[in-house]
Amino acid sequence: MSLVYNDDERMLAEAARGFLQQNAPPAALRALRDTRDTDGFSRDLWREMAALGWAGMLVPEEYGGLGFAHTGAGILCEQAGRTLAASPLFATAILGATLIREAGSAAQKQALLPAIAAGQRLCALALDESARHDPAGIALVAHADGDAFRLSGEKILVLDGHVADTLVVAARSRGVPGETHGISLFLAEAGSAGVTVERTVMVDSRNAAIARFTDARGELLGGLHEGWNALERALDIGRICLAAEMLGVAGEALARTVDYLRQRKQFGRAIGEFQALQHRAARLFCELELTRSAVLRALRAIDEPGTALAPFASLAKVKAGDTATLAVNEAVQMHGGIGMTDEFEIGFFMKRAGALRQIFGDSYYHTDRYAALNGY
Residues 194 and 237 in one domain: no
List pLDDT tens digits, range 302-337. 999 989 999 999 999 999 999 999 999 999 988 887
Beta pairing, strands 123-126 & 166-172: parallel
CA 18 to chain centroid: 21
Residues 116 and 145 in one domain: no
List pLDDT tens digits, range 51-96. 999 999 999 999 999 988 999 999 999 999 999 999 999 999 999 9
Q: Using pLDDT thresholds of 50, 70 and 90, give the confidence band for residue 360.
A: very high
Tell me the CB-side half-sphere exposure of residue 152, using CA atoms within 13 A: 7
Q: Which CATH number covers residue 282?
A: 1.20.140.10
pLDDT of residue 160: 96
Q: How far apart are the first and last CA of the chain?
A: 27
Strand partners, 195: 213
pLDDT of residue 334: 84
Decide if 92 contacts 31 (C-beta within 8 A).
no
Mean pLDDT computed over 99-113: 96
Residue 103's alpha-carbon distances to 13, 118, 148, 197, 211, in angstroms, are 30, 20, 17, 24, 22
pLDDT at 159 over 70: yes
pLDDT at 48 over 90: yes
Residues 6+ apart with CB under 8 A from 142: 149, 150, 151, 171, 172, 173, 184, 186, 218
Task: Show which of 224, 247, 263 is a domain's final residue.
Answer: 224
Residue 293's alpha-carbon distances to 4, 178, 320, 362, 376, in angstroms, are 8, 33, 10, 20, 25
Residues 347 and 235 in one domain: yes
Q: Using pLDDT thresholds of 50, 70 and 90, give the confidence band for residue 339.
A: confident
Residues 237 and 344 in one domain: yes
pLDDT of residue 147: 80
pLDDT at 118 over 90: yes
List pLDDT tens digits, range 259-273. 888 887 777 787 767
Q: Which CATH number covers residue 135?
A: 2.40.110.10
- Residue 238: strand, helix, or coil: helix
Residue at 1 is within a domain:
no
List pLDDT tens digits, range 166-178. 999 999 999 999 9
Task: Show which of 200, 224, 248 is a domain's final residue.
Answer: 224
Q: Which of 305, 296, 318, 300 is nearest to 365 (CA)?
A: 318
pLDDT of residue 342: 85
Give percent of the chain with pLDDT exceeding 70.
99
Task: Show which of 202, 224, 246 is a domain's final residue.
Answer: 224
Domain that holds residue 210: 124-224
Residues 237 and 356 in one domain: yes
For the chain, the domain total comes to 3
Instruction: Calculate helix-pair angle for 275-302, 228-263, nearest 10 degrees.
Output: 160
Rounded mean pLDDT of the chain?
Answer: 94
Tell me the CB-side half-sphere exposure of residue 247, using CA atoms within 13 A: 27
pLDDT at 30 over 70: yes
pLDDT of residue 1: 65
pLDDT at 8 over 70: yes
Q: Using pLDDT thresholds of 50, 70 and 90, give the confidence band for residue 117.
A: very high
pLDDT at 236 over 80: yes
